[in-house]
Amino acid sequence: MVPPFNVQAIVAAVTSGQTSAVAVAREALARINEYAAVQPAVWITRLAEDAVLAAAAQVDARLAAGEVLPLAGVPFAIKDNIDLAGVPTTAACPDFAYVPNTSAQVVARLIAAGAIAMGKTNLDQFATGLNGTRSPYGAPACVFNRAYVSGGSSSGSAVAVAAGLVAFSLGTDTAGSGRVPAAFNGLVGFKPTKGRWSTSGLVPACRTLDCITVLTHSTTDARAVDAAVAGFDAADPYSRSGEDRPLVATRIGVPMPGQRLFLGDAAAERLYEQALIRLAADGADLIEIDMEPLREAAMLLYGGPWVAERTAAALPLLDERPEAIDPTVRAIMEDGRKVSGVDVFRGQYRLAELQRLAEAMWRDIDLLALPTAPTIYRIAEMRAAPVALNSNLGLYTNFVNLLDMAALAVPAGWRDNGTGFGITLIGPAWSDLALLDAGQAYVTAAALPPPPPLHIEDSMDTVKLAVVGAHLEGMPLHRQLTSRNARLIATTTTAPSYRLYAMANSTPPKPALIHSAEGSAIAVEVYELDVAAFGSFVVEVSAPLAIGSVTLADGTVVKGFVAEPRAIDGATDITDLGGWRAYIDTLSRPGG
């Protein structure tokens, strides 16, 4: 009998003799082979069946000889920027590939504990990305809705666990690469304190910030992996020793309301608010904090001198065969060439100042509870805007390693489209075990539902539409949206680069939104429509109005009402009112 595919169940069954490591390995091989027809991009290298079964047989023999193996028979996956002896390491770049003679220290410790490696998983090339689409080996997709990104860069590692192919997987996390895919796929993503786990045998992304991480189904499983691999490694110059920092998670920091950004994702906003309600109901005191120092630190990763570390990681290939590197990744690495020594020291000085602010923050709170990612995107959307949308995914993750914090991503619910939403508990360095305790308490209290049935979308089949006037809720033309089952997903404003006019002789009254360098933010409602419904809606839009692209306050670009220049002939400039509702209100006043 094969037990459920989680660490504790497998170890209990194998060590008690209810099953064998070989039987578990056979089941894992069967699952991997079957799922390859569904998502072939999960793996870069799958280990041969005879090698896997031989490793499992050795585990059974060691148990029979009386060894205590805390991970006996547990199948696991390895992100392909982490070395496994005798197996190519590609970092998702074929021209970079090499075959290591020894395994990464973390991998060696897992195998010594009885875990069984099943292969090397796909990733955003050179671990540069949070979305999972930047690989020549294909783009792993969210397990529960394959139109959406899996998250990255630990994309294949997340899918392998969420699909039930292995019990846990190794990822890496420099800017959120282990936490974001955990959230999208309903997993736990544990990012230890820098240096707690050895990075020997890891292809660097940013050498001073990199962490090897684990993706699991539970905090209990994450704790078991941490127990097997944590510890000082003299071969790793960035390895550290530290005492576990206890904390009682009663004071939880959350962003001030104006800093809770979800980029138009109403479902994510709702799920985050529900998570905060659960934390408060469990006895936590929610304390609002200013996120700006954390976000400034985050900007240093890609907008500051640390981008040069990514250049250093692949410099010989970048110099000799730049065409071998994914274009988006290559552009990021090329930016690192522009960083000067002066830039590096100035960045370090500012980071030291921000670290002091972060240290002061821990006097007022025990940990942070943030959204893991503000939203999720379809693969088609990500490929259309790979830099801007990827940056959005790191809104709540990029600062953590720069400010020397530990983090634990835990599930916090499901969107109606089947994709996962998560929160991340963040604490100071060496609070790892306390975070695992807090995460377990949250998951237990939340009692979240199981993953939803698989949603399958073969294309980008909905469109986001910003309306500014007569189509607003309660206005005369709103029926054109409700009749098409349009779904309100955000009430927000445009970027501060528009002017609004009340058109002359328009029935019913309608505004004209005009892009202007001397503009303001204008109130809008954002709806989501099916593509077919959107098409039929556009047919009803009459000149001088049209449907174009509108930039929202958070930088997101959606479809929306725009106007031809003739629309403002005889029109009244109502920009200073901030929106159409305010203008309509003036008409109802005496003398209006």
The residues carrying an active-site annotation are 79, 153, 177
For 478-512, give one letter per residue: b (16+ CB within 10 A) or e. bebbeebebbebbebbbbeebbbbbbeebeebbbb
> Within 10 Å of residue 104's Cβ, how many Cβ atoms?
28
Contact by Cβ (8 Å): 288, 256: yes
Maximum distance among all Cα pairs of the chain, rounded to whole angstroms: 94
Measure the CA–CA gap between 435 and 399, rounded to whole angstroms. Answer: 18
Please provide residue 523's backbone torsions phi and psi, each rounded to the nearest 5 degrees. Answer: -65, 135
Which 3 state secondary structure label does DSSP give 448?
A: coil
CA 548 to chain centre: 29
Measure the CA–CA gap between 412 and 115, rounded to whole angstroms. Answer: 29
Measure the CA–CA gap between 186 and 413, rounded to whole angstroms. Answer: 8
The single residue listed with the structure tokens 């786990």 is 197
**How is residue 350 written in tokens?**
């500012």
Which 3 state secondary structure label does DSSP give 525?
A: strand
Contact by Cβ (8 Å): 189, 215: yes
- Measure Cα distances from 24 to 58, 111, 461 in Å: 13, 15, 40
DSSP letters, 354-419, are HHHHHHHHHHH-SEEEEES-S---BHHHHHHSHHHHHHHHTTTTTTTTTTTEEEEEEEEEE-TTS-
Torsion over CA: 227, 231, 235, 237 (sign) = positive
